[in-house]
């Protein structure tokens, strides 16, 4: 790949990323009053994070059962409102123990 083509690709990517972030800022000048739309925007970061993380959760260990056990432990700890470090450590330990037990 030659340098000029690479620079064009980088420029197009930079402009498209910039536009995606700037257009809402320019188009929406006042506070959003619509309750449904505000609620939708509130949950978008959580939905995107879940969509990015969930596939990796079940394939991280290479064993679906151990990954599912780790996920279940994480859900139990998170449901009980433990902090994120506790949830992550407990789920990792649970998945590791499941891997050791399952062989």
Tell me: pLDDT of 13 over 80.
Answer: yes
- Torsion from C-alpha of 72, 74, 76, 80, nearest 10 degrees: -170
Locate tokens 């970061």: which residue? 45
Provide the residue ranges of all domains of the chain, joining segments of one domain with +: 31-102
pLDDT at 30 over 90: no
Alpha-carbon distance values, 3 to 7, 9, 20, 81 (Å):
6, 10, 26, 51
Give the confidence band of 27 by pLDDT, cuts at 50, 70, 90: confident
pLDDT at residue number 32: 84
Instruction: Give the mean pLDDT of the chain.
Output: 92
Neighbouring CB atoms inside 10 A of 82's CB total: 15
Q: What is the pLDDT of residues 35-84, one digit of tens each?
A: 998 899 899 998 998 899 899 999 888 999 999 999 999 999 999 999 99
Query: Among 58, 84, 82, 55, which residue's Cα sits nearest to residue 71?
Result: 58
pTM of the model: 0.61
């Amino acid at each position: 790949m030659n340098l000029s083509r690479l620079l064009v690709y980088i420029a197009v990517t930079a402009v498209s990323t910039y536009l995606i972030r700037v257009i809402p800022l320019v188009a929406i000048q006042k506070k959003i009053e619509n309750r449904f739309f505000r609620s939708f925007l509130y949950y978008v970061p959580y939905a995107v994070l879940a969509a990015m993380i969930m596939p990796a959760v079940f394939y991280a260990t290479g064993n679906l059962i151990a990954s599912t056990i780790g996920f279940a432990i994480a859900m139990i700890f998170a449901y009980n409102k433990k902090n994120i470090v506790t949830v992550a450590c407990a789920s990792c330990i649970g998945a590791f123990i499941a891997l050791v037990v399952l062989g």
